[in-house]
Amino acid sequence: MTRSYVIKPELGKTYPFISRGKGIYLFDQEGKRYIDGCGGAVTASIGHAVDEVAEAMYAQAKEVSFAYRSHFSSDAVEELGAKLAEWAPGSLNWSFFVSSGSEATETAQKIAIQYWQEKGRPTKNRIISRWMSYHGITMGALSMSGHVLRRKRFVPLLEDYPAITGPYPYRRPEGISLEDYALQCANELETAIKRVGSEQVAAFIAEPIIGASGGAVVPPDGYFQRIREICDQYEVLFIADEVMTGVGRTGKAFGIDHWGVVPDLMTLGKGMSAGYTPMAATIVSDEIIETISKGSGLIMAGHTYSANPQSAAVSLAVLKYVEKHQLIEKSAQQGAYLLSRMEQLAEEIPLIGDTRGLGLLCGMEFVKNKDTKEPFPLSAGVASQVIAKAFEKGLLVYPAIGGLDGVAGDSIILSPPLTITTEEIDELIHILRDAILAVQQELQE
């Protein structure tokens, strides 16, 4: 092929062509092998080319792939809804299916606003979010996101929602204990609600573990418990954005389960169908559905592909695979091993300032000065260089770049398929070490 008519992420750059995948590996058309150290975009969580999923996909396609949700439900969709109700905590029993994480968070935003309207409180329509956050690329989702790099061209078009600081233990003020820091950050929500007025606030949205804008930043214990208390006190719904952290990625079914907190709404994407077909969901509580049922009875959201049987069958096969192979437990075990190997690298290599994570969602932050934690300027593109070098050497890692300009966002995420073995982690670490050492060498020259 000589000429491309496809708009690529970086215009003018040449990308290798994918040929096939198996387990944690991908192969391009030149025969080069890559370890999928980040499941693409923290997505391919059960590995590539799993037979059971391919079979479920084919079986559904032979019957019917698409039937519009305003005309029909289907066995696949109903079974998937029931499975998610089983998995999700508390009374989060109701799934609204969409096709991407952005659609899921934007649907959560809409349902939260509609809930208060149905209760006769239409002024409760603003969403509080956090500066270091990413909830999606559509305008509603971007309005709730703090990700500086992704927002900046569109700021005049975005809702001017209030935002608070997300806990970032590595860069917390000196001398403060983690316990106090957790409360300090959570209490910012109370301050923001009081400033805006609780009669204006519909919901608070947060990722249980900060992904694309921070690089697997884990909050201190106590943070989400306090957030839940504040939300209850001021009648603000809590939306847990589990698009990256859901479906076993962090060693629990959902990221928020680490703190035993039950949100009012939860969003899923990525690992929900593990990359086999586009699929995402907004899961909401009994109370929300009962309120809307008693009111208009109609949720004003949805897309053409919402709840299509084809994607539902695939997602169901993925969830069953996760259960059958105990991948949530494996994520916890293998994640602890991966993090320990990353910590060894950090002891050896001065460029690595911090390593962190839960389960197989791990992050690594690069710094100019390890003692002072001084970051590189974003323009130095250190994480990008590591990513490029790793790619060259056959390892894919995910960027967490530009989340908070000049403060956070020179990090990478390691999030391989939950099926990864100890030997495969050793292989991944070996390549990563070579890549980071090569970048460190270049920076010193």
397 sits near ligand PLP (criterion: CB under 6 A) = no
118 sits near ligand PLP (criterion: CB under 6 A) = no
Of 334 and 415, nearer to ligand PLP (C-beta) is 415
Of 23 and 359, nearer to ligand PLP (C-beta) is 359
Closest approach of ligand PLP to the CB of residue 285, in Å: 20
Q: Which two tokens stand for residue 309?
A: 């049987």
Q: Which residues 204-223 are close enough to bind ligand PLP by CB under 6 A?
A: 207, 211-212
Under a CB-based contact definition with an 8 Å cutoff, are residues 22 and 48 in contact? yes
Q: Which residues 238-257 are close enough to bind ligand PLP by CB under 6 A?
A: 241, 243-244
The 334-373 site mask, x for binding ligand PLP (CB under 6 A), equals ----------------------------------------
Of 100 and 125, nearer to ligand PLP (C-beta) is 100
Query: What is the chain's Cα-based Rg?
Result: 21
Instruction: Write down the number of H helices and E strands in the chain.
Output: 13, 14
Which among 5-13, 53-61, 97-105, 194-202 is the span making contact with ligand PLP, rule CB under 6 A? 97-105
Q: What order do you get walking across the sheet with 352-358 strand by strand?
A: 352-358, 361-366, 408-414, 398-404
Closest approach of ligand PLP to the CB of residue 58, in Å: 25
Q: Which two tokens stand for residue 141?
A: 């989702």
Q: Which two tokens stand for residue 127?
A: 């969403």
* Cα→Cα distances 308→105, 124, 281, 302, Å: 19, 32, 12, 11
309 sits near ligand PLP (criterion: CB under 6 A) = no
Chain position carrying tokens 């500086």: 148
Q: What is the full DSSP assignment across 402-416?
A: EEETTTEEEEEEE--
Closest approach of ligand PLP to the CB of residue 324, in Å: 25
Distance CA 134, CA 142 (A): 7
Distance CA 224, CA 182 (A): 8
* Cα→Cα distances 385→379, 382, 410, Å: 11, 5, 10
Chosen residue from 87, 94, 134, 168 binding ligand PLP by CB under 6 A = 134
Of 140 and 335, nearer to ligand PLP (C-beta) is 140
Binding interface with ligand PLP (CB under 6 A): 41, 100-102, 105, 134-137, 207, 211-212, 241, 243-244, 269
